[in-house]
């Protein structure tokens, strides 16, 4: 069995952000239409972190499985908190086709899904973006989300000022803001990109018509406060998000699935999405296998076209 191996640098070079945003839209529509096979995420826990398994079949992308570890303490030793591998299999005969780095894919596909939600759910005149957190997801969100709205001002806030300054240096529209509250005040779009185990955002900080994106998935607790969830129109990849962690989110674990809307329904036109200019919309992302399958397919196709990677016989 010959398997194509792709490194993190190769994956990063091959993954086109704009194409991924477009491809994710199709993937989410397929998911909400019931065309995707993806069981809820499961995880094994060690004393220091967890290892989650995310298999999925997407008709347009194929059959994949991602193994992703989440070890919050890795930041202290210079490693990413999220590390992953993605294996691609033939949907026809089950043979392994490729094994690629999933760490870069996880970072980019998460931000691209947020960008897609911003495109569909934020006000068209949104001009001020706030990014809370300047780690991997802060960097990815700055790149992806700024592609879908012509923001005039971008505020960066982080618990580590040096991290915020490094991220802000990437874009002349960025300014470093001292506190999360100051960053959120008056922002049209707020991207929460932290590994916090307690809320980093309060409903009282948000203005009318704001859109909030939350991608934090700490095993210990929620990134958003309960009032933001209660008063906002909540959108998700899948209603499985309304289940206990690790398959679902802390914020939504006690909510009935019918109280949230899948982004694929908005993209397919079966749900209106935002219904007024002063409505609070919330994108609560838990990540989904459809995102990994779609991204892996783009990477694999690009690698095969360019002759990138090494083939290993197993």
> How many domains is the chain built from?
2
d(CA 160, CA 178): 10
Of 109-118, 160-169, 215-224, the one with minimum mean pLDDT is 215-224
Q: Name the residue among 72, 80, 75 with its Cα closest to residue 105.
A: 80
- Residue 140 and residue 250 in one domain: yes
- Residue 93 and residue 134 in one domain: no
- Residue 34 and residue 126 in one domain: no
User: With contact defined as beta carbons under 8 Å apart, do 241 and 284 qualify?
Assistant: yes
d(CA 258, CA 70): 29
Residue 170: which pLDDT band, with cuts at 50, 70 and 90? very high
Residue 305: which pLDDT band, with cuts at 50, 70 and 90? very high
d(CA 8, CA 35): 30
d(CA 6, CA 102): 10
- Residue 118 and residue 243 in one domain: yes
As a whole number, mean pLDDT of residues 295-305 equals 98
Dig out the tokens for 31 from the structure.
């998911």
- Residue 60 and residue 131 in one domain: no
- Residue 100 and residue 166 in one domain: no
As a whole number, mean pLDDT of residues 285-298 equals 98
Q: Give 68-95 pLDDT, tens digit per residue.
A: 999 988 988 989 889 999 999 999 999 9
- Residue 67 and residue 95 in one domain: yes
> Residue 275: which CATH number?
3.40.50.720
Domain interval for residue 33: 2-105+290-313
Q: In percent, how much of the chain has pLDDT > 90?
A: 93
Q: Which residues 6+ apart lie within 8 Å of 241 measured at CB?
A: 248, 249, 252, 260, 284, 286
- Residue 194 and residue 45 in one domain: no
> Residue 86: which CATH number?
3.30.1780.10
Dig out the tokens for 287 from the structure.
């990540």
Q: Give 243-285 pLDDT, tens digit per residue.
A: 999 999 999 998 999 999 999 999 999 999 999 999 999 999 9
- Residue 50 and residue 170 in one domain: no
**Residue tagged 């409505």 (tokens):** 279
């Amino acid at each position: 069995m010959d398997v194509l191996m792709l490194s993190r640098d190769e994956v990063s070079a091959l993954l086109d952000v704009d194409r991924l945003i477009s491809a994710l839209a199709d993937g989410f529509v397929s998911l909400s239409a019931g065309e995707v096979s993806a069981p809820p995420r499961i995880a094994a826990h060690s004393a220091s972190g967890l290892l989650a398994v995310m298999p999925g079949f997407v008709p347009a992308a194929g059959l994949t499985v991602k193994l992703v570890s989440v070890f919050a303490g890795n930041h202290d030793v210079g490693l990413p908190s999220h590390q992953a591998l993605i294996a691609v299999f033939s949907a026809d005969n089950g043979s392994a086709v490729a094994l690629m780095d999933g760490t870069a894919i996880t970072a980019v596909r998460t931000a691209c899904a947020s960008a897609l939600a911003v495109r569909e759910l934020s006000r068209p005149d949104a001009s001020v973006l706030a990014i809370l957190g300047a780690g991997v997801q802060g960097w990815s969100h700055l790149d992806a989300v700024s592609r879908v709205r012509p923001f005039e001002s971008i505020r960066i806030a982080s618990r580590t000022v040096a991290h915020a300054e490094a991220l802000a240096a990437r874009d002349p529209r960025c300014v470093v803001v001292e506190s999360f509250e100051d960053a959120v005040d008056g922002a049209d779009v707020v991207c929460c990109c932290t590994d916090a185990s307690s809320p980093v955002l309060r409903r009282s900080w948000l203005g009318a018509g704001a859109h909030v994106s939350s991608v934090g998935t700490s095993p210990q607790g929620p990134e958003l406060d309960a009032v933001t969830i209660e008063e906002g129109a909540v959108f998700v990849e899948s209603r499985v998000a309304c289940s206990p962690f690790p398959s679902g989110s802390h914020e939504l674990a006690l909510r009935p699935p019918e109280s949230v809307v899948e982004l694929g329904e908005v993209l397919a036109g079966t749900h209106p999405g935002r219904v007024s200019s002063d409505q609070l919309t919330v994108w609560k992302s838990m990540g989904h296998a459809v995102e990994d399958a779609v991204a892996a397919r783009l990477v694999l196709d690009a690698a095969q076209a360019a002759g990138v990677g090494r083939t290993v016989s197993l």
